[in-house]
A and B are shown apart, each in its own frame.
Chain A
Amino acid sequence: NAGVMQNPRHLVRRRGQEARLRCSPVKGHSHVYWYRQLPEEGLKFMVYLQKENIIDESGMPKERFSAEFPKEGPSILRIQQVVRGDSAAYFCASSPLRPSLLHFGNGTRLTVT
């Protein structure tokens, strides 16, 4: 069974470009979470989604960031008009229900130049 798959593993964007981060949860998992880890800092919750629904996006910046988890296909975290401060590791996790043990992807390391 495949675990949580995130791609790309590394992403370099120039200021002002868009970044799209993808997360395919474990098969059968309907709960997806996105977290951000800034350099030298701890993990921070961003958003919690179930299929086609955003359950809680209270950890996400109000502007430029959006997330979706469509009926078909991976969950997408989208960052528009990236700035240097967006440089971080973005982790996705999934679970079959809540609360439940989390399965993490390997993360996407975003670098904004």
Chain B
Amino acid sequence: KNEVEQSPQNLTAQEGEFITINCSYSVGISALHWLQQHPGGGIVSLFMLSSGKKKHGRLIATINIQEKHSSLHITASHPRDSAVYICAVDLNTGNQFYFGTGTSLTVIP
């Protein structure tokens, strides 16, 4: 069983649609990270959350610590948002990170 589960695994959307990617985890965490990996392979950190909600441009990330769940929302999606979105958790015991398997998003013009 993975400590971090993401859904959906694959997602295709029309340009302009509102997108939600979900992440559930089963361990105690000090922080949760959302990452974006583009087709070229480079990884960009989008957010680090330990509570509440963060917003950056068209991206919104929320976390519910009690329910061990986080969501990444993309408003007014655009083809350039096409990438793999990865959820990762920073444990509150030990030094490990656990990663979800990623959600592959394709936004069609």
Contacts and interface: CB of A to CB of B under 8 A. Distances in A.
Contacts of A48: 95
A82 B53 CA distance: 44
Question: For chain B, which range describes its interface: under 10, 10 to 19, 20 to 34, or 35 or more residues?
Answer: 20 to 34
Interface residues of A, number: 25
A91 B43 contact: yes
Contact of A56 (B42, B47, B95): B95
Interface stretch (B16-24, B65-73, B74-82, B97-105): B97-105
Contact of A45 (B44, B45, B96): B96
Contact of A101 (B45, B86, B99, B100): B45
B44 A104 contact: yes
A5 interface: no
B39 interface: no
Contacts of B96: 45, 56, 58-59
Interface in B29-88: 30-31, 33, 35, 41-45, 47-48, 50, 86, 88
A107 B38 CA distance: 12
B45 A44 contact: no
A26 to B, nearest CB: 12
Interface of A: 33, 35, 41-45, 48, 55-56, 58-59, 89, 91, 93, 98-104, 106-107, 109
Interface of B: 30-31, 33, 35, 41-45, 47-48, 50, 86, 88, 90, 94-102
